[in-house]
Amino acid sequence: MQELASLVEANNMEVADTITQKSDSVSGATYFGSGKVTEIKEIANADDVQIIVLNDELTPSQIRNLEKETKLSFMDRTELILQVFSNRAQTKQAKLQVEIAKLQYQLPRIHPSGNPLDQQSASGGLANRGAGESKLELDRRVIRKRITALRNELKTVDKTVNVQSRRRTNTSLPLVSLVGYTNAGKSTTMNGLLNFNKEDSDDRKVFEKNMLFATLDTSVRRIDLADNTSFLLSDTVGFVSKLPHNLVESFKTTLKEAQDADILIQVIDISDAHWKNMLEVTEKTLKEVGVVDKPMIYAFNKADLKPDQQFPSIEGDNIYYSALDSKSIETLIQLIKQKIFANYKEATLLIPYDKQKVTEEILRNSQVTKKEFTNAGSLITANLSPEELERFNNYIEMESSNK
C-alpha cells in the first residue's frame, strides 16, 4: 500500500485516504464486500474524492459495478502503472510500447453504454485517461486495427534500436547493465560511475530523481577509466511488483541491453524493509523478458541509511555501498573490473602500417597500456579479451599471463 501511494504521487495525484479490507476472498462482482463498498463511497464523498485507486488488477465488470454503485471513478493498479509509464515515456520506442500496452488493457474494458467514455471522464486532474482516443475510436475493431498499426511501427523503430545495439556489441568493450527495482538508485549509481570517467562527463549524466519510474528509457554510456580500462554501462527501466504483463511484453526490446550484457549489476535498496521482495520481483521480471544465466553483482545501495551496516564492503558477489559516496563507487568499479576483466591477458602486437584500421580499432576499444611506432609497424601492448586474442592472433608478438 505504501508503494501504491508512491505510484499515485508519481502520477501527479494526491492521496486523501487509505482504506483496507481483511477478507478471505474477493467479491466476484465488486471486489470488496458490500459493506466496504458503502464505506468507500461515504469516505470519498466526505472528503470530496472522486477517484479510487485499487492495489490490484480488477476485471472490467468489477470496475463497472463499483462505478455504478458509488458514482465514483475507479482506477486499478495496472491502469495506474500504465498512466505513470505514459507520462514518463520520452523516446519514440517507449511511447509506442506504452500505447500498445494501454490499448490492450483498454480493449476488454469497452462496454456498450450511452456513453462509452464514462470511465474516461474522471476528474481529479487526470488527463488522457485510457489511450486518449475519440469516442469513435473506442470501438473494438478500431482499437485492434490501431494496435496492429502501432506494432508495425514499433517493429521499424526496434530495427533501428537493434542496429544501434549491434554496433555497440560489435565492439570489444564489455557491457555492464544496471537492473533493479524502481527507485533503488540505478541512475544515481550510473552517474556516480560517470564521475570516474577520465574526461568531463557532466553532459552525459542521466536523469535521477527520488521517484518511482523517474526514467523509462535505456541509457548507454562509455566509461573510460584513468588506468585505460573501458566498458559500456547501461541503465535500464526499473521494475515493480505486479508489473502489467502487456507492459513486460512491450518492453522486451528496451531491455535488450540487459540481455546482451556481460554482467548485470542488480541495484537493491537495502534501506527498504521489503528489499528481499524487491529482489525477487526483479529476478522474476528478468526471467520473463528472457534475461537468464547472467553473471550478477548484487549491489546493496543506500547502506548509509542502515546504522549497523559497514560500507563500502564486498562479500563475494555482494557489495554494500552508497551511490552518493565516491569511495563506494570506487569500490564498485574495482569489483566490476575484477569480474569483467578476469579472463583478459596482456599481449604485445606488431601491426603493419598498411593495417591502419586494425590499429585504430585496438586503440579505440582495447585497454592499451603502451604504444610506439617502429620501422615494422605500430607496436601496441594491451590487455585483451579471449575473443580479441583470437581475432588479433596474427599480430601478436608476445603474450603474458593473466592480468
Binding-site positions read: 180-187, 213-217, 235-238, 301-304, 322-324
Relative to beta strand 230-235, strand 219-224 is antiparallel
Q: What is the DSSP string of 291-353?
A: --S--EEEEEE-GGG-TT--SSEEETTEEE--TT-HHHHHHHHHHHHHHHTTT-EEEEEEE-G
Max CA pair span of the chain: 91
Q: In the β-sheet with 313-315, what is the strand arrangement from edge to edge?
A: 219-224, 230-235, 175-180, 263-269, 296-301, 318-320, 313-315
Interatomic CA distance for residues 20 and 1, integer angstroms: 9
The binding site for Mg(2+) consists of 187, 215
User: DSSP for 190-254?
Assistant: HHHHHTTSSS--GGGPPP--SSTTS--S-EEEEEE-TTS-EEEEEEPPPB-TT--HHHHHHTTTT
Question: What gap in Å lies between CA 286 and CA 201, rounded to an integer?
Answer: 30
Are the C-beta atoms of 330 and 363 separated by less than 8 Å? no
The residue among 139, 54, 65 whose CA lies nearest residue 103 is 139
Backbone angles phi, psi at 125, to 5 degrees: 80, 15
Q: Show the cell assigned to 184.
A: 533503488
Cβ–Cβ under 8 Å, residues 266 and 299: yes
Report the 10 Å Cβ neighbour count for 293. Answer: 5
Known binding positions for GTP: 180-187, 213-217, 235-238, 301-304, 322-324
